[in-house]
Amino acid sequence: MKLPEVEDHMHKAVEATQRSFNTIRTGRANSSLLDKVTVEYYGAPTALKSLASINTPDASTITIQPFDRTSLNLIEKAISLSDIGLTPNNDGSLIRLNIPPLTSDRRKELVKLAAKYAEEGKVSIRNIRRDAVDSIRKQEKSGELSEDVAKDTQDKVQKMTDKYIAKIEELLAEKEKDITTV
C-alpha cells in the first residue's frame, strides 16, 4: 500500500464519519436528517432525495415536495417507519416535518450516538493503519524495502493516523457543541 493511497482511505473514513454526524438531529431543521430514508417506490428501495425536493423553510420545519404526487403516501409511510423519530404531516401536495426542541435527556443520548460514530471512524482509521503497516512489513521481509525505509514509512503512516484521528475529534467536538446548544 502506497502512502497517498493510505491517506486517501483515511480521508474517506473521516468523510464517512462526517456523513454519519449529519444524520444526527441538533434541534434545528436540516435536510440531511433524511439522507438514510429510503422509500419503496415501484418495488425498489429508492433514496428519498431522488423522489422529492427537500427544503428547510425555517429552523423548525422540513418540507418534502415529491416530484410525483402519487408517491406522497409512500414517502409519508417511509418517514413514519424510519428511525428519525418525526411524525410527517401530509397536506395532499407536500409533507411537513416539525422538529420539536430537544430535551436534555435526548441531547445526552445524541451526544453518545455522536461519540459512537466518532469511535467507529477512529477504528476504521486504525484498521487502515494496521493494513498499511502489515504491507510495509511484507515489503521489508521480501527485500523490496530496506529496514530504514520501512521504519520511516511506518512513522509517516502513524503521523497520518494521528492527524486523521485528530480531525475526527474536532468534528466530534463541533457536533457535540451543536447538539448541546439550545
Q: Is 25 a residue whose pLDDT tops 80?
A: no
pLDDT at 85: 76
- Does residue 9 surpass a pLDDT of 80? yes
The domain limits of the chain are: 3-22+103-180, 31-98
Stated pTM of the model: 0.74
User: Which amino acid is present at 171?
Assistant: L
Identify the CATH homologous superfamily for domain 3-22+103-180: Ribosome-recycling factor (1.10.132.20)
pLDDT in tens, 102-153: 888 888 988 999 999 999 999 999 999 999 999 999 999 999 989 999 999 9
Mean pLDDT score, 165-181? 92
Is 182 a residue whose pLDDT tops 70? no
Q: Among 3.40.720.10, 3.90.550.10, 3.30.1360.40, 2.40.30.10, what is the CATH number of 31-98?
A: 3.30.1360.40
